[in-house]
Amino acid sequence: MRSLAELEARLEDIITERGEPTSAEELLECGEAVLEHWITVRGEDPTNDEHEGFRILALHRQGARGDASFNACRETCRELVYHFNLMSELRADTDDAQSSLQMMALIANHLVLFVGGKMQEAGLGEFCCSAKPLHEEINDLSEVTDA
Amino acid sequence: MTDKKAKYQKVAYYPGCALEGSATAYDRSTRAVGKALGLDLVDVKDWNCCGAMEVKNIDAKIQTYLSSRVMSIAANEMDMDVVMAPCNGCYHNLKKAEYDLKNDENSREVVGKLSEKAGHATYASGQVETIHALDWIRDTIGEKGLGERVKNSLKGLKIANYYGCMYTRPRHIFPEKDQGPGSESTSKPHFMDDLLAAAGAVNVEFPLKTACCGGAHTLSDSDMSTKLVLNIIRAAEAAGADVIATECPTCHSGLEMHQIRAQKRFGVETKVKIIYFTQLLGLALGLKPKKVGIHENISDSLGLLKEKGLA
């Protein structure tokens, strides 16, 4: 499985039109991979089930179980599915298809950044999200005094 | 005249801290649009912070109390039954307090004790209805009424409507949403789209309209916030937008500031302009840019507005 950093780098290449061409399948898989990371760090096995015909939607439901703030990326997952469906109606060599793929990459990138952010700070997506210092236990006072 | 149309003609106005500080343009344009539309705003007397993010992170019940005090003043000292909050944070927190006070005995107990200690009447769930500026304009004037009042159409302006994450989430604190035709949707909000379309704008398909902007994460991991904002801006530009319309001061400030930071930190320049929806409506109603605080935005949109014949 590609790391979040690798996924972010690949998506950045697609967004800036560098590197290998992409496909709707690859971008949907990027989205699934992001959610797999989230679920794995929670100590669970990512599901292979589908919801409404898509694994990414089942993975999102699994990832949001017990953590309502994860619903902040629910619509992002659904937008990926929408664009995937849209791509199945478009000829790959058309401008519309390229625009849709570009948008899919941006949507997947939001998922990488949001979920990556939540893995650093669980409160992201829960208004207003971090105020990180309040949650952190300061074990080493030099961290504060040296700052 | 519908119930809401009559009820929202005169509302208690709760600007909140942001609209007195970083978002004076939102405050200025909200008041100006209200005046132009013949709607009455009566400022909540001696209002306080809604509890925002800081208080909530320390003690959620204190946040519930702080929000309840604003509603108590409106109901018990001003005899108002509607509080209008243009800030998504304030709007969200007042709605959350309303929900908690209706459903949680412990919250009622804490709020009762603190209100007594502070020397004001305890707010009781249901005394006021909290609405957003979008509800206020849509339910009083409506798309048709707005269209009839447009003096300077937004025609030709392509807009990505960005609602942010707090306007619709969590669903359970917004029981009036998702109630079928005419109500707001929590998955695909559209009230801002509807109003700006009525003013002549072209709304682009924008898939990240409720995506997280990084918000207060900006203090703990600025690069992450910048990347989240940059991605939202890139998506808006990829969708063909000239402007991202906002209805939340936190999102608005974040988009403006991280747009600049993205250029300095990552060397990525983007051109889309960030403008409050109330500013756009004000321009469409024939108000001058200064009247709606265009000069107070960090995002310099005057050139674009002149090009489009709006300034």
Residue-wise pLDDT tens digits, A61-112: 999 998 888 888 999 999 999 999 999 988 888 889 999 999 999 999 999 9
Cβ–Cβ gap A131/B169 under 8 Å: no
Q: Where is mean pLDDT largest: A72-76, A120-124, A132-136, B139-143?
A: B139-143
The per-residue pLDDT for range B109-153, each reduced to its tens digit, is: 999 999 999 999 999 999 999 999 999 999 999 999 999 999 999
From A75, A117, A128, residue closest to B53, measured CB to CB: A128
Nearest CA distance, B231 vs chain A (angstrom): 6
Q: How confident is the model over B297-306, as a mean pLDDT?
A: 96
Above 90 in pLDDT, residue A48?
yes
Euclidean distance between CA atoms B221 and B205, whole angstroms: 30
Q: What percent of chain B has pLDDT over 90?
A: 88
- Residue A68: the pLDDT is 80
Residue B249 forms contact with A (CB below 8 Å): no
In terms of CA atoms, which chain A residue is nearest residue B172?
A68
User: At the topology level of CATH, where does B3-131 sit?
Assistant: Glutathione S-transferase Yfyf (Class Pi); Chain A, domain 2 (1.20.1050)
Residue B161 forms contact with A (CB below 8 Å): no
- Using the structure block, give the residue that is written with the tokens 């002149």: B306
- Residue A130: the pLDDT is 37
Q: How confident is the model over B253-278, as a mean pLDDT?
A: 97
Above 50 in pLDDT, residue A138?
no
The sign one gets for the Cα dihedral B216, B220, B221, B222 is positive
Domain B146-307 belongs in CATH node 3.40.50.11810: yes
From B89, B187, B211, residue closest to A128, measured CB to CB: B89
Nearest CA distance, B292 vs chain A (angstrom): 27
Above 90 in pLDDT, residue A25?
yes
- For A:94-123, CB contacts with B below 8 A are 99, 102-103, 106-107, 109-110, 113-114, 116-117, 120-121, 123
> Looking at per-residue confidence, does B21 or A107 come out higher?
A107
Residues of chain A positioned with their CB less than 8 A from the CB of B165 = 72, 125, 127
- Residue A135: the pLDDT is 36
Per the prediction, chain A carries an average pLDDT of 84
**Full residue range of the structural domain in which residue A140 is found:** 4-145
- For A:12-71, CB contacts with B below 8 A are 15, 68, 71
Above 70 in pLDDT, residue A146?
no
| Distance from the Cα of residue A94 to its chain's centroid | 27
Q: Which of A128-132, B126-130, B178-182 has the lowest mean pLDDT?
A: A128-132
> Looking at per-residue confidence, does B154 or B215 come out higher?
B154
- Residue A132: the pLDDT is 36
pLDDT band for position A140 (cuts 50, 70, 90) = very low
The count of structural domains within chain A is: 1
Cβ–Cβ gap B238/A128 under 8 Å: no
Residues of chain B positioned with their CB less than 8 A from the CB of A15 = 234
Say which residues have a Cβ less than 8 Å from residue B60's Cβ, sequence separation at least 6: none
The pTM for the full model equals: 0.92
Cα B38 to Cα B141, B234, B235, distances in angstroms: 10, 38, 37
| B146-307 has the same fold as B3-131 | no
Nearest CA distance, A43 vs chain B (angstrom): 25
Q: How confident is the model over B174-192, as a mean pLDDT?
A: 95
Tally: H helices and E strands in chain B: 15, 8
What does the domain layout of chain B look like in residue ranges? 3-131, 146-307
From A74, A102, A110, residue closest to B238, measured CB to CB: A102
